[in-house]
Amino acid sequence: MNKYLKSVIVSLAIASILVSCTQQNKTEEYALDGLVQGSYYHIVFYSTQEQRDIAKGGIDSIFKAIDASISLWQPSSIINKVNGNKNVELDSIFIDCFTASQKISELTDGSLDCTVGGLVDAYGFAAKKKMTINQKQIDSLLQYVGYKNVRLKGKKLIKKYPQTQLDFNAIAQGYTSDKVGQYLSSKGINNFIVDVGGEVIAKGKKKNGALWRCAIEKPAKTADSDQEYSSYLELDNCAVVTSGSYRKYYTDDKGIRHSHTIDPKTGSSVTHSLLSVSVVTKTSIEADGLATAFMVMGLENSRKWLSTHKNIGAYFICASKDNSFDTYCTPNLKVKDL
């Protein structure tokens, strides 16, 4: 092989390597979709192919770690060991969720309460099936409910009553969205939207410079109705979570509709006219917890609370007497029509 041919081959090889490196370093839009925590996840971000490949593995690890800590569906999880009064050391995930839940409980006078696990089980919402429960059963379980009856001592959870059962489902998916967002940022990915089961957090902007959008679902007439959307919010480095009672409920023999949202103070499922609330805050876990608290509090009490917490945005949809919807939006939000 002559020197000229060798030179050509070497040049072509170098060019091929440079093209390959350029492609790998090119920023593209990537989407990751799948199932997690009994629901879906949808993540869109801008990164290089190498960042994308790393992110996929890291996100899967986050999902597994969270399930191992606070999933009620994983028999060996830390939360199930705590509920079974086993001598177990808490990890940072459990402590994060417990601390966040307790903080929101304090802020909302106990409208969010992670100790409602026994009531959730008794109503059958955890198992997604209707169960008959009477006032005597509610009262017998209610004595073990109360966020002030549990506390941390180092890496141990101390219960006033061994019968108390914890449930972080009101904040778990919000926490997961936050952790995924933090992970992406740590890998230099700064333009993304993360949606885990409807708990959304967004950072940066889309490739065209526009803010990320999150659609708000119209309350469905029945639990199995198709999803419909008529409005949306633009997310400027913030989170939004919608909580609603129009899909997760059952109607008893007396025709009374029981929401999956349980009032920790009464032990009863809520029956007021508030159908859904979308909460906008800096973190998804806070938005998730407050959305549940507002569904317990109802519109008027939530409005009073928001009047002294003006950094929180919320959009409420209520059932009206004529079978249509009434809405209320805090002044700091702009809900736009699709």
What CATH code would you report for 171-337? 3.10.520.10
Residue in this structure with the two tokens 């400027």, named with its chain if needed: 236
pLDDT band at 280, cuts 50/70/90? very high
Instruction: Report the distance separating Cα 30 and Cα 20, nearest Å.
Output: 18
Query: Residue 4: its pLDDT value, please?
Result: 53
Helix (H) / strand (E) element for 279: namely strand 274-281
How many CB atoms lie under 10 A from the CB of residue 62? Answer: 16
User: Could you identify the residue written with the tokens 């509920």?
Assistant: 83
CB half-sphere exposure, 208, CA atoms < 13 A: 4
Tell me which range, 62-76, 125-139, 264-278, is most confidently predicted by mean pLDDT. 62-76
**Quick check: 322 pLDDT over 60?**
yes
Give pLDDT tens digits for 214-241: 999 887 665 566 788 989 999 999 999 9
The pTM for the full model equals 0.89
Tell me the chain's radius of gyration from C-alpha atoms: 24
pLDDT at 127: 56
If one compares 219 and 318, the residue with the highest pLDDT of the two is: 318
For 16, residues 6+ apart whose C-beta sits below 8 A from its C-beta are none
Task: Please state, rounded to an integer, the average pLDDT across all residues of the chain.
Answer: 89
- State yes or no: pLDDT of 18 exceeds 50: no
199-203 and 192-196 beta bridge pairing: antiparallel
